[in-house]
């Protein structure tokens, strides 16, 4: 096997990617590019080297973008376009993304650090699928007619409901799957006839800007989609507080979600929150162990653990505990780690130096607390933001390793004997995003999948998002859903019409 490079070779980038990197920092507002008044740098996580500059937007740019989105919401080009036209635009956008899929995948690979295969198959492939799925929705959205019994002597009435767009949506997304996270917000909003101001993460904004170009090319009216880049505490905060916003659709950490919920509570903006997770993988002795061990490893090491539904806690039935831990130890040493553009890479670096420090602080604390910390390799001294696939054994239930979202390639491993103890442990965090079960016992599948307090349970397989199936959390993992019919529903509001028939 040829050695895997730890740093991306950027000397032979596709011309479109080079153009996106060399673009002057700008925001996409009201269908035009506005030069940014302040800028911030973008680093390639495999080397830490600067590769681009993006705009550091704040309140003035957000104000322009919200005004443009409000005007577009009321303009006949969008308001009266009708469902067939919205479907056609969404299909055109999906086709444009598909045509540029290879370039978009390279862009997110060098911006976020993810391996190219993952960027292409999940991040960009998933984006195309999501726009196609929601392209089918506008012509299926409908209100109801309702037979009405009026009070005596008042006359005859006809009742109806209309489904109307909620208005201007503030879409705020994280960096872990940059293009796809933006698509999960934009596609249902546009299907519902809303307009959007998108604030991508400061850690990975390049593909959102590239997407804005394609939105323009697809022919969406000016102001329907606006993209402002910037810091969460500046651009994000200004967007959340702006009185011109009708709904906030946020994906990110539980801490930020809480702050946004406080603001939405006082201004009464509508809100959906897709927040963090600490999802359990539960492995019973009767499972297909080969598949379960691979599944448990992929659930945490895919995208370097920077996945909201990452299976960061592994509960192993006592009878097979030693065997599974030994095999996982061998497996982590075989995982190809390296720069996303290198051939054969399974796992890349983390998104930023800050994220690497966060993750390694958890490992240092675990070591200091006497836990078993098994790292597959040592990347100290490399300039990229690498953390090796790591197993942690011996953590107590209330240790931070067990309770807090680490968002890195760190798997906490626990032993269990009976289902009752298991459920207490598995449900015993503030989160409730997802769980996966590995067992051949069908009764147990149904018993546990209803008892697990989370938004998604995957059985005998690695999970993946599917546009028609909702994703979202119970408890501290948020409320509302991305994907599926739920997401478009949440971009609509109901108006009741009561008509007197004379």
Residues at the interface with ligand NAD (CB under 6 A): 172-176, 181, 199, 201-202, 232-233, 236-237, 240, 251-253, 256, 259-260, 274-277, 308, 405, 407, 433, 471, 473, 478, 482
Structure tokens belonging to residue 283? 């492995």
| Chain center to CA of 127 | 11
C-alpha–C-alpha distance, residues 98 and 183, integer Å: 13
Nearer to ligand NAD, 137 or 407 (CB): 407
Nearer to ligand NAD, 97 or 173 (CB): 173
C-alpha–C-alpha distance, residues 375 and 80, integer Å: 58
Least CB distance to ligand NAD at residue 430 (A): 12
Residues 6+ apart with CB under 8 A from 23: 52, 209
Asked if 408 and 388 count as a contact pair (C-beta separation under 8 A), the reply is no
Q: How many CB atoms lie within 10 A of CB 151?
A: 6
Asked if 434 and 462 count as a contact pair (C-beta separation under 8 A), the reply is no
Least CB distance to ligand NAD at residue 290 (A): 29
Q: Which of 109, 194, 308, 454 is catalytic?
A: 308
Q: How many CB atoms lie within 10 A of CB 494?
A: 11
Least CB distance to ligand NAD at residue 259 (A): 5
Least CB distance to ligand NAD at residue 216 (A): 22
Q: How many CB atoms lie within 10 A of CB 18?
A: 14
Nearer to ligand NAD, 128 or 170 (CB): 170
C-alpha–C-alpha distance, residues 459 and 281, integer Å: 10
Nearer to ligand NAD, 92 or 242 (CB): 242
| Chain center to CA of 322 | 34
Q: Which of 61, 203, 274, 471 is catalytic?
A: 274
Coil, strand, or helix at residue 477? helix
C-alpha–C-alpha distance, residues 269 and 332, integer Å: 45
C-alpha–C-alpha distance, residues 121 and 102, integer Å: 10
Asked if 45 and 203 count as a contact pair (C-beta separation under 8 A), the reply is no
Least CB distance to ligand NAD at residue 237 (A): 4
Q: How many CB atoms lie within 10 A of CB 327?
A: 15
Annotation marks residue 109 as catalytic: no
Buried b (16+ CB within 10 A) or exposed e, 274-285: bbbbbbbbbbbb
Asked if 46 and 349 count as a contact pair (C-beta separation under 8 A), the reply is yes
Structure tokens belonging to residue 341? 């553009």
Least CB distance to ligand NAD at residue 455 (A): 8
Residues 6+ apart with CB under 8 A from 45: 112, 113, 348, 349, 350, 351, 352, 384, 385
Least CB distance to ligand NAD at residue 310 (A): 8
Nearer to ligand NAD, 58 or 275 (CB): 275
**Residue 427 phi/psi, 5° resolution?**
-85, 0
Nearer to ligand NAD, 265 or 336 (CB): 265
Q: How many CB atoms lie within 10 A of CB 300?
A: 28
C-alpha–C-alpha distance, residues 17 and 189, integer Å: 28
Asked if 498 and 159 count as a contact pair (C-beta separation under 8 A), the reply is yes
Annotation marks residue 491 as catalytic: no
Nearer to ligand NAD, 87 or 274 (CB): 274
Nearer to ligand NAD, 137 or 175 (CB): 175
Structure tokens belonging to residue 490? 């949440």
Least CB distance to ligand NAD at residue 251 (A): 5
Nearer to ligand NAD, 260 or 320 (CB): 260
Least CB distance to ligand NAD at residue 65 (A): 14
Residues carrying an active site annotation: 274, 308
């Amino acid at each position: 096997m040829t050695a895997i490079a730890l740093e991306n070779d950027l000397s032979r980038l596709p011309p479109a990617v080079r153009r996106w990197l060399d673009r002057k920092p700008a925001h996409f507002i009201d269908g035009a590019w506005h030069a940014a008044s302040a800028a911030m740098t973008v680093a390639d996580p495999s080397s830490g080297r600067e590769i681009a500059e993006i705009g550091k937007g704040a309140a003035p740019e957000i104000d322009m973008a919200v005004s443009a989105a409000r005007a577009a919401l009321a303009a006949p080009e969008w308001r009266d376009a009708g469902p067939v036209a919205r479907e056609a635009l969404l299909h055109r956008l999906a086709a444009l993304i598909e045509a540029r899929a290879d370039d978009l995948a390279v862009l997110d690979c060098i911006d976020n650090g993810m391996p190219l295969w993952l960027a292409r198959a999940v991040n960009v492939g998933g984006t195309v699928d999501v726009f196609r799925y929601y392209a089918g929705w506008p012509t299926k959205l409908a209100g109801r007619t309702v037979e009405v019994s009026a009070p005596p002597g008042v006359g005859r009435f006809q009742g109806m409901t209309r489904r109307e767009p909620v208005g201007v949506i503030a879409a705020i997304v994280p960096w872990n799957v940059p293009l796809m996270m933006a698509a999960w917000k934009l596609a249902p909003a546009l299907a519902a006839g809303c307009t959007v101001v998108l604030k991508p993460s400061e850690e990975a904004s390049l593909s959102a800007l590239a997407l804005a170009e394609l939105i323009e090319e697809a022919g969406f009216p000016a102001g329907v989609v606006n993209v402002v880049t910037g810091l969460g505490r500046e651009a994000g905060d200004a967007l959340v507080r702006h009185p011109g916003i009708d709904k906030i659709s946020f994906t990110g950490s539980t801490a930020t979600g809480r702050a946004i919920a406080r603001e939405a509570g006082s201004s009464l903006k509508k809100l959906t929150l897709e927040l963090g997770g600490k999802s359990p993988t539960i492995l019973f002795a009767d499972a297909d162990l080969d598949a379960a061990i691979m599944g448990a490893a992929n659930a945490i090491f895919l995208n370097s653990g920077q996945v909201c539904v990452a299976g960061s806690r592994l509960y192993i039935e006592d009878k097979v505990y030693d065997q599974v831990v030994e095999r996982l130890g061998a497996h982590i040493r075989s995982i190809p780690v390296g720069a996303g553009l290198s051939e054969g890479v399974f796992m890349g670096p983390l998104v930023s130096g800050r994220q690497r420090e966060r993750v390694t602080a958890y490992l240092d604390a675990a070591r200091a607390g006497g836990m078993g910390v098994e790292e597959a390799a040592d990347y100290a001294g490399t300039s990229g933001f690498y953390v090796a696939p790591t197993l942690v054994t011996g953590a107590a239930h209330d240790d931070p390793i067990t309770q807090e979202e680490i968002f890195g390639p760190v798997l906490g491993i626990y032993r269990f004997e009976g289902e009752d103890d298991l459920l207490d442990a598995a449900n015993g965090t503030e989160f409730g995003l997802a769980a996966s079960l590995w067992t051949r016992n069908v009764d147990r599948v149904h018993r546990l999948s209803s008892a697990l307090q989370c938004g998604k349970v995957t059985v005998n397989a690695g999970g993946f998002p599917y546009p028609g199936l909702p994703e979202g959390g119970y408890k501290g993992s948020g409320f509302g859903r991305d994907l599926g019919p739920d997401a478009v529903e949440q971009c609509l509001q109901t108006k009741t019409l009561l008509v007197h028939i004379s």
